[in-house]
Amino acid sequence: MTKLAEDPPEVRAAAQAAVDTPRGVGSIASYFTEVPLPATGTWSTPGKGGAQADIVLTAPQDNMPLLFIEVDNCHETAEELADKLEKYARFFRRKVKDTDGRERPMWRTRWHAPTDRPGDQPYPPVLLVFNRIGERNPNRTAPRLMELTRHLWQGERQRGGYHLYDNKIPIVVVGLNNLRKHGPAGPVFGPFGRDYSQTLLEAIGNPRLDAAHAREAAENRARQEEYQAQVRRAAQEQAAKQEAEREARRPVCTGCGARFTNDRWAAVHATD
């Protein structure tokens, strides 16, 4: 603290800005840079036709099992970015034999991602971060890129109003300035195919499908509770009917006309 107090104002301001920056995802160990994504060849000696991810993020502790990040300094055209995303798709489709002899997508032999999302198994998401240094305007590049890559990310609409994205790539764009200002918890991420911004976890997910599953689960619980209530009512009605039939059979004393008590009735049965 003493050293910080002696630093120039601009240094103290930078330190305070670092403290005030919104919390990110994972730790420094969660990030890997310049990672080859071989469409041919091996991990160590990739062949032609593959891509190289700027950053790969794995932070399951923050609900981010796997995220590929591409940083564009606004020098590349939409066509060049689309070509790189095609290479991503080629890599995601590639299958190899794993150590157990079974064939799996190559990316799954190195990274883990959930496989228990019912009805929807997309490829890992790709986040495009635009750092506005070059002459190209990301506000024009992103819409053009969205059209060029529609076949890579567009899902199939279902009756419930949601989409399924089997073998599709969730592609999300964000500006570096907004990312710095709001962090991944801010609604500044634009998923291709949606005309509104979301938080990062919402953008790479399928919230409408999750909502549909939640509604279905709630309806199933309601049906189960109603069924259990019907069973209880039926049991109560059966018990009441049996009790009424038993009371109708209860003997009556010929002398005083009073119905037998349970003990007297049991004694009568015991002695006949």
Paired strand residues for 151: none
What single-letter amino acid sits at 14? A
Paired strand residues for 198: 189
What single-letter amino acid sits at 100? D
* Tens-digit pLDDT string for the chain (272 aa): 666 667 777 766 666 666 666 778 888 999 999 999 999 999 999 998 889 999 999 999 988 999 999 999 999 999 999 999 999 999 999 999 988 889 999 999 999 887 766 667 899 999 999 999 999 999 999 999 999 999 999 988 888 788 888 899 999 999 999 998 998 999 999 999 998 999 999 999 887 777 777 787 888 998 999 999 999 999 999 999 998 988 888 888 888 888 888 888 888 776 65
Q: Helix/strand/coil (H, E, C) string of 160-209? A: CCCEECCCCCCEEEEEHHHHHHHCCCCCCEEECCCCCCECHHHHHCCHHH
Shared-domain flag, residues 197 and 231: no
Shared-domain flag, residues 191 and 221: no
pTM of the model: 0.74
The rounded distance, in Å, linking the Cα atoms of 65 and 122 is 13
Shared-domain flag, residues 111 and 161: yes
Structural domain boundaries, residue 230: 214-271
Phi, psi at 111, each rounded to 5°: -125, 155
Shared-domain flag, residues 141 and 259: no
Q: Maximum CA pair distance of the chain?
A: 113
The rounded distance, in Å, linking the Cα atoms of 209 and 117 is 10
For residues 60, 55, 209, 117, the Cα torsion angle rounded to the nearest 10 degrees is -50
Instruction: Among 205, 226, 259, identify where a domain stops.
Output: 205
Shared-domain flag, residues 222 and 192: no
**Count: domains in the chain:** 2
